[in-house]
Chain A
Amino acid sequence: MPIVGIREMTAEAGWRPSGDTIGESINIISVSDSEPDTYFSEWDFSEQEAINIEFEYTPSAGFGNVSPIKGRIKIRTGSGLLFVVVDSENNDPNDVDQIIRSIRKNTNDSLKIKKRLVLGREPIWRFVLAGKPVRIDVVTPFGGVQRISLQKESSIPDAVTIEDAEGNYPVDSAEVEFTRDSYSFDIRYFEDKLTISSDNSSDVEYIIQVFESALR
């Protein structure tokens, strides 16, 4: 299952990594800039520069053996997003944070990556509602995380329904089912990351396109 870390960034036109490494810990295996096919019908970023960097990240040595992490960096100039895709097997979300931090530290002004993902309330809601939500937890103003009722009218009194929450409350985490052609898979959204329950690389690209489209 791939974990996708997301950041906003601005890249100079024609930006490519200089050299074979980014900083000390990221080794670049290959760089390609082929345009992705359109998988998501509402996606209209096909004109943008899409840079794919395959990399191997060696964490700075702690105790014992540290195994390198392989993954891909996807830089999209049109939507202004950077995605770091890492397999969740053997790796945990903190590794993605480490990798993003390491890229951020070791690129200069030609690739400016924001420290945190702060997109606003509406884009995240658009993304979550682009598929079929299975579970949405929101943060309520009174404090506390609450699971919302996905029906328009709930039988439970005082339940927060999707109508109350949509666009008003920040999404804490969500599980959304996406259906492509004949099969479906789940994604989980939490903070600045997505976990996709499909190993198919075109499904990852599909979710990235959905996310990019939600930003508009």
Chain B
Amino acid sequence: MYNAEPLWRKFYIARKTFRFLKHYTDSILFKISSPLSSVVWIFSSVFNSYSDPLSYLAVGVLVLPAIYYYLMFSPFNVTINWNQVKPSGNYTQRANQRGQIYISKQSNTAQVTVNVLFDSHMDAYELEIDSDYGIEVYPGASDPPAGAEYDEEKNIIKADNVDNPQFFFTLNIEHDSDLTLHDPNIRIKDVYEYDLGLLEYLPNKLLDLFRRKPTIIRFSFS
């Protein structure tokens, strides 16, 4: 399974760039900054030649948010994908093709496997499983994999001294349809406190801007 990847994914920088672009283009920041930049760019050509301050501004509006986003959510070192296990059948397949989880109306439960592929040079991780009100998500009884532990109160799967950065676990999902909103979500977040490198010298208040917990994957329901 892990080998069936395109060749470019074998390169660390390529993987990282891909993950960054995927996350960033999904973000609200990008959705605002890219059209804004276009608008400024058009204005710059309308009013004057391209070399005036407006065109610098256009480039800035495009590039600066991307840099900010990169610093805030780096290191982009993990890919997560999932497969639904239970219930199985046509409805499930159809929902999965739309990127959604199918929950049967009778049992209100589902089970998925979550494949986690960290880049090899990491030695600790913390993954928080977060869900909207009315949905309970928890690992199966014979999870997590060896070496990892599960913190029930925080709903975190974590491990130190990781020797296998690519692993998988199952998640049980219980859905109370009376309590949930229209479009409920489950999120897996990377809550590990990474070393921020040179940024560590910045004052704490500024650092908190960068210490966000990025969502790596989002599940939604059909």
Contacts and interface: CB of A to CB of B under 8 A. Distances in A.
The A interface is mostly helix, strand or loop, or mixed, namely: loop
A170 B146 contact: no
Interface residues of B, number: 27
Interface in A105-158: 114-125, 139-145
A167 B149 CA distance: 15
Interface stretch (B8-16, B65-73, B136-144, B192-200): B136-144
A191 interface: yes
A131 to B, nearest CB: 16
B134 interface: no
Contact of A144 (B1, B85, B145): B85
A192 interface: yes
B86 interface: yes
Given A139-B170, A142-B1, A118 B144 contact: yes
| Chain B contact surface mostly | strand
A170 B140 contact: yes
Contacts of A141: 1, 83, 113, 115, 168
Contact of A124 (B141, B169, B172): B141
Interface string B86-100: 101000000000000
Interface residues of A, number: 26
A142 B113 CA distance: 8
Contact of A121 (B1, B88, B144): B144
B139 to A, nearest CB: 5
A121 B168 CA distance: 11
A119 B141 contact: yes
Interface of A: 114-125, 139-145, 167-168, 170-172, 191-192
Interface of B: 1, 83-86, 88, 111-113, 115, 138-146, 148-150, 152, 168-170, 172
